[in-house]
Structures are given as C-alpha cells and as structure tokens.
Structure 1
Amino acid sequence: MSARLMANPEFRAAARPRLRDDEMPTPPRAMTASAEKGKRRRAWPRWTRSAVKSALMLVPVLGLAATAGSAWKHGNLADNLQAAEDGLIRATGSLGFRLQEILVVGRSETERDAVLDALGVRRGEPILSIDLADAKQRLEELPWVSSASIERRLPGFLYIRLSERQPMAIWQHDRQFTVIDRAGRPLADAMELARRGNQRIDTLPQVVGANAPQQVHTLLSALDNAPTIAPMLSSASWISDRRWNLQLSNGVTVRLPEGTGEMRNALRQLEQMHTANRVLDRDIVAIDLRQPDRAAIQTSATAQLPGWDDDAKKKSGKKS
C-alpha cells in the first residue's frame, strides 16, 4: 500500500512546468469572463441604467396621457366618464338608493311647495343623482331663506335645514304693503299673508317712504338701545330722505334729528325722560328732539304736565 501511495517525483514537474519570471500565468476561465463583464459595464456611466429604466416607465404614462388628452379634446373621454357615472347611479338606484322622504327643519314662513319647486326632485329618483350644491343654491334664492344646508341620509332621505329671515316691518309704498326684514329686503306681500291667516304681521310696525327700506336698519339699530320705546313703535316715516318721524302706539309723534349718531342720542334722551318722568304717558301730542340741547313738547288742550296737579292744589289753597 505504501508503494501505491508514493508520488512520482517527476510528476509535479510534468504537470506544472516552471514559469519564467517575465511570463504571466493564464487566468482561469471564470476570472476571464468576470473581467470581460467588468469592462462591458464600465463602457457606460453608472447613472445610465437608472435613467433608461425611468424612461421606459414614462413611455406608457406619456402615451396614456396623450391618448386621454386627445380623447378629451374630441369629447370621447368626457362622454365615457359621464356614461360610466350614469350607469353607476342607475345601479345604485336598483339597489334601493332612491329618494323616499324629504325632512325639512327650520321652515316657518317658507311655503312647502316653494321648497319642493326649488329642489326640483321627485320621489323615486336615484338619490345619488341629486346635485346638492345646486339644490342648496336654489333654496337660498327663496325670499324667506337666508341660508340652507342639505345632506343625503342613505338609503333614501334628504335632510334640509333652513335658516329664515325675520320680518321686522311692513313697507307701505304706492298702495302696496310689503313685509321686509331688518336689512330692508322684501320678503312677502303683507296682504297675502293676512289672507292666509298669518297673525305675525299684525305686530310689525309700518315704514313709509320711497327709500325707507334702505334706511330701516339704522332705525332698528338705534331702537335697540331704547328698549322701552321700541315696543311702542307703531309706524315710522322717512322724511325728505333725511330723517325719521316716529308714531307711537299711544298717538305721540316723535320727531328725530338727521344723522345716525344724532338719532341714537335723541332716542336715548327720550328713553331717559320716559323712565324718569313717564313723559310718554302724559297727555301730549308730539315731542321734537331735533335740537340736541333740548326737547320741545307739544301738548293737547287738556294736557297735564308733571307738577301740574301740585301747582293746582297750591293755588286752590291760597284762595281758601
């Protein structure tokens, strides 16, 4: 066995011939292939690969965008999208998403038929086909409605909340009587409301004058600072487009000065006079407040001013 394992001393020399110092060994095949591959990679910059990849990804996107733009330009894409939307809405309607009920909150003066006409909807139509923004805009165009909100409550309810304008006066002009709000905006025909049995208009003061609605907000704001006088107002006349004359419920006429600030001061003065001496409960005809430093009181023939009873008693005592 030892002879079988003995190496031939000439074998190494025969298998591996000795190389000269200036001779390079032949590289293995794998190393040669790897070197050649490395040479091929270094033929292009390193950023080229990512750029080419991005370009290849953008090609279909740009192609789709160009196709979509062309289709949109010719109306095809828009028509297709609209058709798809209509088909989807019809499908939801077949699943039971149809308008069944309309719930309105906050409606006091607005007529029911006016709300339905403004909505422009009908029972049984697909509820998703209703344009809520358009319906809201039409509701807010109604005379009594100041703001409106509308929402869907699936599967078949429309929930509407209305905020209505408040009637503040009745404008009398050219033999017509129009209910107006605080800003002077016309709301409804007062005679028509009376025929319908609306009792609220009986509590509203009247304003007279061609341009009275444009000025009524200043008068009402000034009366807010005279809480005792405001409930007594029966009517107000806009005189010569300059100032107001007030007619109180007890028949007394109050002549106010020009100017918003002056009018506020005059009403505040009248409020103090009535609180201190109950002057408006006396037998007087008119109070002129157009002068800032004094109030001119016009009495009737039988008027008794504050202190009159005391003076009469003193005189009768002297005579006795």
Structure 2
Amino acid sequence: MADPDFRAAAAGARARDEMPTPPRAMAASAQKGKRRRAWPRWTRSAVKAALILVPVLGLTATAGSAWKRGTLADTLDAARESVIQTTGDLGFRLSEILVVGRSETERDAVLDALGVRRGEPILSIDLAEAKQRLEELPWVSSASIERRLPGFLYIRLSERQPMAIWQHERQFTVIDRAGRPLADAAELARRGNQRIDTLPQVIGANAPQQVHTLLSALDSAPTIAPMLSSASWISDRRWNLQLSNGVTVKLPEGTAEMRRALQQLEQMHAASHVLDRDIVAIDLRLPGRAAIQTSATAQLPGWEDESKKKNGKKS
C-alpha cells in the first residue's frame, strides 16, 4: 500500500521543482526588500527623537554658554562674529566700492565716512550707521547703500545744490537753498570749480536763514532771477538786490509783499524794458508804486525832452 505521506511529500517536491525562476528585477526587488527589513523597527522612532533632541541640546548648550558669559546678548554677539568670520573665510570680503551721484563730495570724505577697509568681511559692515555718516557730510542730502555679494558696496548719493555764496566777515561760504553751509568758496575756486562764478552773493549776518524766501520769490520772476548779482539783507527786515547791470532794487518787508514787488518789476520790464535804461535804483517798498532813481544820462520812456533830465532825479 502506498504511503500517503510519501505521495504528499513527493507532490510538494515536484511543485517546487516545476516553479519558474523569477526575473532579475523581481530578484533585485526581493533583495532590496530584504535589506530594508534589516533595519530594526525602532529606527524611525529614534530618528524622530533625534530631530527633536538636537535643537533642544543646542539651545541647552547656548544657555549654558550664556550662563558662563553672563548674558545671552554676549553669546549671540559671539555667535554672530563667528558666522561673519566664517563668511569672510569663504570669500565674502569687501573688494570694491562703487559710488554713484558724487559730484562735489570728495572721494576721501566718502571713504572716511564709511569707515571701512578693503578685505574686511562684507557682512560685518553696518549699513545703517554708514548711511547716517554719509548723510552728515555737508554736500550730501541723502544716501543709500547696499551690499552686492560677494564683495561690492554700491552707494548712491544725492547732493545738495549750491545756490549762493554767503559773504560775511571776509569769509565766502557756498550755501544751498536752505542756507546750509556747503564749502569754502575760496577753496573751491583754488580747485578750479567754475560753477561758483555763476552764483550770486548774499550779504548779512543772518542772510543764510532768509535766503530760501528770496529764492522762492525769485522763482516767480524768471526775468529778474538770472540778473541777480548780489543780495543784501538789510536791518534783518528786507532785501536789496544788486542786478548785473548795476541797478539796485529795494524790496519791501514780508514774503508776500516781496513776491508782489518782483512781479510788478517783471511787468514794468516787459512793458517798457525799464531795466535796460540808464537808471541807478528802483524802490519798490511802497505797495503798487515804483520810485525810479536815474543817473546823469538817464533816458526813460516819455522823457524825450532833454531839458527835463536832471542828475539824481526820482520819479
């Protein structure tokens, strides 16, 4: 009698022998799966714990260092210095400074205000402080500064415009529209600056504080403004203008009154070219009136009769 256990064992052997060989891809996948299963099940939990513990340990170490140093601020400063030094070692160092908009400001003045040196870590430069120092320069009205990594500082300057030369106690100082001193006029002349030759002079101890009102009034008198040679601040109350043709214009007190007087003079000149005549002065201090002082050879409109001309005659 046949042994049933033998037949079952034989059938199992034939089934295993007849099973086809798996493809290489399946074999490789099986090997890969075996390798994955080689890691213990607790590995994933350990990685998660490490991701949580490492920052905690770092903060703990920082706190311990801060305790030793006395303050957390000292520790943070030390860490910052370390990072900056590291970036410097990686090549982030100041190599070039590009300045745009500089016309009157001296190059050395810009460098001194920046307070930087070539080769220092560029991230160590305090841009806010450098900007503030630049804007303290006489000629600079505003400044912007930015880093262009790895080693450039890009600076844009906006400079004040010279509007007049203040003459006071034998000193000649270039001032802007607000009356702010910019530079010594004699020094600029020695350096060959030709622009100062075109600037009018203002005379008087407190003239710079009042020059903005005069210039504002002259903006509404486009014919008179280019003719201005100098302006004297009289008795801390009003202006006398000296025009390039030698005529003195006496203006009234008050900004509004001064503006109206200059507009009146504009209209007089447009109608009769009064400023082209041989006159000495025009007094506009009285509202709506103009007193004209003539010279010995004056010839005003309507004064064709030579017998009417008199030296120093006013009208």
Q: Given the alignment of the two structures, is residue 241 of structure 1 paired with residue 266 of structure 2, yes or no?
A: no
Equivalent residue number for residue 192 of structure 1: 187
CA distance in 2, matches of 1:117, 1:267: 45
Q: Given the alignment of the two structures, is residue 250 of structure 1 paired with residue 222 of structure 2, yes or no?
A: no
Among 128, 145, 149, which residue is 2:144 paired with? 149
Equivalent residue number for residue 43 of structure 1: none
The count of corresponding residues between Structure 1 and Structure 2 is 250
Label 1:289 to 1:73 Cα distance change in 2 as closer, same or farther (>3 A).
farther
| Structure 2 counterparts to residues 295-314 of structure 1, below 5 A | 295-309=290-304, 311=305
CA distance in 1, matches of 2:71, 2:289: 80
CA distance in 1, matches of 2:81, 2:198: 52
Among 117, 125, 129, which residue is 2:124 paired with? 129
State the superposition RMSD in angstroms: 2.2
Instruction: Note the C-alpha offset of 1:77.
Output: 2.1
| Structure 2 counterparts to residues 1-320 of structure 1, below 5 A | 71=66, 75-309=70-304, 311=305
Unaligned 5+ runs, structure 2: 1-55, 307-315
Asked whether the 8 Å contact 1:72–1:78 carries over to 2, the reply is no
Equivalent residue number for residue 43 of structure 2: none
Label 1:69 to 1:170 Cα distance change in 2 as closer, same or farther (>3 A).
farther
Question: What TM-score does the superposition give when structure 1 sets the normalisation length?
Answer: 0.74
Q: Which amino acid is the alignment partner of residue 222 of structure 2?
A: P
Q: Which amino acid is the alignment partner of residue 72 of structure 2?
A: L
Instruction: Note the C-alpha offset of 1:94.
Output: 1.2
Query: Structure 1, residues 203-253: CA drift from partner, whole Å, max 9, x if none?
Result: 000000000000000000000000000000000000000000000000000
Q: Which amino acid is the alignment partner of residue 194 of structure 1?
A: A
CA distance in 1, matches of 2:146, 2:67: 32
Label 1:95 to 1:287 Cα distance change in 2 as closer, same or farther (>3 A).
same
Counterpart of 1:306 in 2: which secondary structure? coil
Instruction: Note the C-alpha offset of 1:78.
Output: 1.9
Asked whether the 8 Å contact 2:66–2:75 carries over to 1, the reply is no
Asked whether the 8 Å contact 2:65–2:75 carries over to 1, the reply is no
Label 1:156 to 1:258 Cα distance change in 2 as closer, same or farther (>3 A).
same
CA distance in 1, matches of 2:244, 2:154: 43
Question: What TM-score does the superposition give when structure 2 sets the normalisation length?
Answer: 0.76
Q: Which amino acid is the alignment partner of residue 272 of structure 1?
A: Q
Q: Which amino acid is the alignment partner of residue 168 of structure 1?
A: M
Label 1:236 to 1:94 Cα distance change in 2 as closer, same or farther (>3 A).
same
Counterpart of 1:308 in 2: which secondary structure? coil
- What percentage of residue pairs aligned between the two structures are identical? 88
Asked whether the 8 Å contact 1:148–1:161 carries over to 2, the reply is yes
Asked whether the 8 Å contact 2:69–2:75 carries over to 1, the reply is no
Q: Which amino acid is the alignment partner of residue 234 of structure 1?
A: S
